[in-house]
Amino acid sequence: MTKITFITQDNESIIVEGNSGNVMELAVQNKIKGIEGNCGGVCSCATCHVHVQPEDWDRVGAPSTLESDMLEFDDHVSEYSRLCCQINVDDTIDGIVLKVAN
Amino acid sequence: MTEAASNKTCIVIGASHAGVNFAFALRRNGWAGEILVYDSDPELPYHRPPLSKGYLSAQDNSQLDLLFPKENYESENITLNLGKKVIAIDKLLKTIELSGGSKQGYDTLVLASGARPIVPKIDGLQGAKNVFSLRTFGHTVGIQRALLASVNKRVVIIGGGYIGLETAASLKKAGANVVVLEREKRVLERVTAPEMSVFFKDLHHANGVDLLTSKNVISIENSSGVSTVICDDKTSYEADVIVVGVGIEVNTELAAQAGLELENGIKVSTSAKTNDAHIYAIGDCTFHYNQHYKRYIRLESVQNAVDQAKVAAAAICGNEVNYDVIPWFWSDQYDVKLQMVGLSQGYNNVIKRIELGNEKCQSVWYFRDDDLLAVDAVNNGKAYVLGTRFIKGKQILDKSKLKDVSIPIKPTSFLLD
């Protein structure tokens, strides 16, 4: 099982576990506030914006061009922004911490 | 909030994007009573957009893209009554009636009854084999089974709107031979500028789909398992599978029978309330006021379903709300992502950009005089995001700069000096 910690805008820390799908789906299943995934995970709606901890960035990886284009002018963008529907849940990201951007 | 605290029953008719998101939002807003959701579709509520996109071309479709896992309904005490059809509303007694005759009382009723595909009047369509619409999971399964059982895999799609084009792209990817027959002179005529129609026509041709326009289908003839689709210009196309995507009609029968106000859908206020104090309506079935465009509209979109759901939930729990959004949409075809924001109806000039060095990165900006109404962005997240910002902010842009592709798309690139 891959463990992921979400920190919401209310500073609530929630640890969730999963072993398949993408991080947005896992967040929706666990009712993480601020993650909606309205488009179902196809990088169209930007309602699953998270900030990756700098030390986890290399493991999570950089966004695709379309994803970074969606993020670049977002009001809450940081250099560690990702749309978490584009991050797969697997061993490589076990233990990461994601701050919900909205 | 007395509404939220008391033990009342809220009934939701329709368990798709609007109805289900409403149910969860109602709980979040503090509704303590029962939430009963009804839908005639027997499946756990699922994402609809993938049905015509990735889902149709995927090899393994054993897993549906669920809106929420089953456990979430249980933990939020939301009762799903699936495969159950509501046949009548009695707004005086505040009850609904199910097919089979049983009745259930409500304190608040929410209509999220959506829409259904139009079945066009075409001779022979009713009796033809392997004819499908595409709106439900059942439709997708039917199309896939029919395709699998067919040797020649000839698909004729009637209608060149988004459903038709997405279905064409997905079935081509799944190995079918696909012909699209569009009645108008160009595809997507109802929703986009000619520039976009040309782009998608070229895209489909490049991928080996026959996308034909000015093709008015008048009849379908059937012999020994093969259908022949005949157009009024006397051309004909053989088909093993026929998909009809010529638009939808709103499910307003229940609302009409209950005497609710109708006008191109169920007419609702900016808090999603109908003309009955205890009945709300959300999603595709509503005719609602858009404050930005200053007119009543009906939308077929996930965005409208989800956002109106939240507004209705807040309103029912006694919070001040006001539906005020810029609509957005998307479409995925082959490797192309189209993102649309705003409503282009009423435009009188457009600017098309093809970004330097990237032919597949395009955008069409729709204006009425100098007012930016809408943006269609092809593989162009920046145009989509900034277009949204400019429309919301009623930003007047310097069109000569917007036309100049040597100026990259940035927040301040196109502002007037």
- Give me the pLDDT at residue B60, please: 67
Cβ within 8 Å, pair A38-B302: yes
Q: Which residues on chain B are in Cβ contact (under 8 Å) with A46?
A: 385
ipTM over 0.90: yes
Q: What is the CATH number of the domain that holds B154?
A: 3.50.50.60
Last residue of a domain, one of B266, B283, B316: B316
Distance CA B402, CA B218 (A): 44
Print the domain residue range for A92. 2-100
A77 touches chain B (CB under 8 A): no
Q: Which residues on chain B are in Cβ contact (under 8 Å) with A31?
A: 72
> Chain B residues contacting A, CB < 8 Å?
47, 49-50, 53-54, 65, 68-69, 71-72, 302-303, 306, 328, 330, 332, 337, 339, 379-382, 384-386, 389, 410-411
Q: What is the length of chain A?
A: 102
Task: Let me know if B188 is exposed, middle or buried by CB neighbors in 10 A (0-12, 13-18, 19+).
Answer: buried
The residue assigned the tokens 């909030």 is: B1
> Of B129, B186, B188, which Cα lies nearest the Cα of B156?
B129
The answer to whether residues B14 and B104 belong to one domain is yes
Distance CA B394, CA B17 (A): 29
Considering the domain boundaries, does residue B105 fall inside one? yes
Residues B154/B176, Cβ–Cβ less than 8 Å: yes
Cβ within 8 Å, pair B385-A73: yes
Task: Examine the pLDDT at B365 and tell me if it is beyond 60.
Answer: yes
Print the domain residue range for B31. 2-51+65-115+250-316
A56 touches chain B (CB under 8 A): no
The answer to whether residues B170 and B235 belong to one domain is yes
- Give me the pLDDT at residue B56, please: 87
The residue assigned the tokens 């999971």 is: B137
Last residue of a domain, one of B194, B215, B246: B246
The answer to whether residues B179 and B228 belong to one domain is yes
pLDDT tens digits along B62-116:
678 899 999 999 999 999 999 999 999 999 999 999 999 999 999 999 999 999 9
- Give me the pLDDT at residue B1, please: 45
Q: What is the CATH number of the domain that holds B339?
A: 3.30.390.30
pLDDT tens digits along B135-177:
999 999 999 999 999 999 999 999 999 999 999 999 999 999 9
Considering the domain boundaries, does residue B324 fall inside one? no
Q: Which residues on chain B are in Cβ contact (under 8 Å) with A34?
A: none
pLDDT tens digits along A46-101:
999 999 999 999 999 999 999 999 999 998 999 999 999 999 999 999 999 999 99
> Of B161, B153, B208, which Cα lies nearest the Cα of B182?
B161
Considering the domain boundaries, does residue B322 fall inside one? no
Domains identified in chain A, total number:
1
b/e string for B370-404 if b means 16 or more Cβ within 10 A?
eebbbbbbbbbbbbbbbbbbbbeeebebebeebee
The answer to whether residues B46 and B103 belong to one domain is yes
The answer to whether residues B258 and B299 belong to one domain is yes
Distance CA B215, CA B230 (A): 9
Considering the domain boundaries, does residue B417 fall inside one? no
Q: What is the CATH number of the domain that holds A71?
A: 3.10.20.30
The answer to whether residues B241 and B305 belong to one domain is no
Task: Examine the pLDDT at B14 and tell me if it is beyond 60.
Answer: yes
Considering the domain boundaries, does residue B184 fall inside one? yes
The answer to whether residues B342 and B309 belong to one domain is no
Domains identified in chain B, total number:
3
Q: Quote the pTM value.
A: 0.95
Structure tokens at B161: 């709107």
Q: pLDDT class for B2, splitting at 50, 70, 90?
A: very low
Chain A residue closest to B340 (CA)? A44
Cβ within 8 Å, pair B69-A29: yes
The answer to whether residues B139 and B206 belong to one domain is yes
The answer to whether residues B74 and B153 belong to one domain is no
pLDDT tens digits along B209-234:
999 999 999 999 998 878 999 999 99
Compute the mean pLDDT over every residue in chain B, rounded to the nearest whole number.
Answer: 95
Contacts of residue A101, defined as CB under 8 A and 6 or more positions apart, other chains included, come to A34, A49, A50, A51, A74, A76, A77, A78, A81
Last residue of a domain, one of B289, B316, B343: B316
Considering the domain boundaries, does residue B77 fall inside one? yes
Cβ within 8 Å, pair B382-A73: yes
pLDDT tens digits along B260-311:
999 999 999 999 999 999 999 999 999 999 999 999 999 999 999 999 999 9
> Of B75, B68, B89, B35, which Cα lies nearest the Cα of B255?
B89
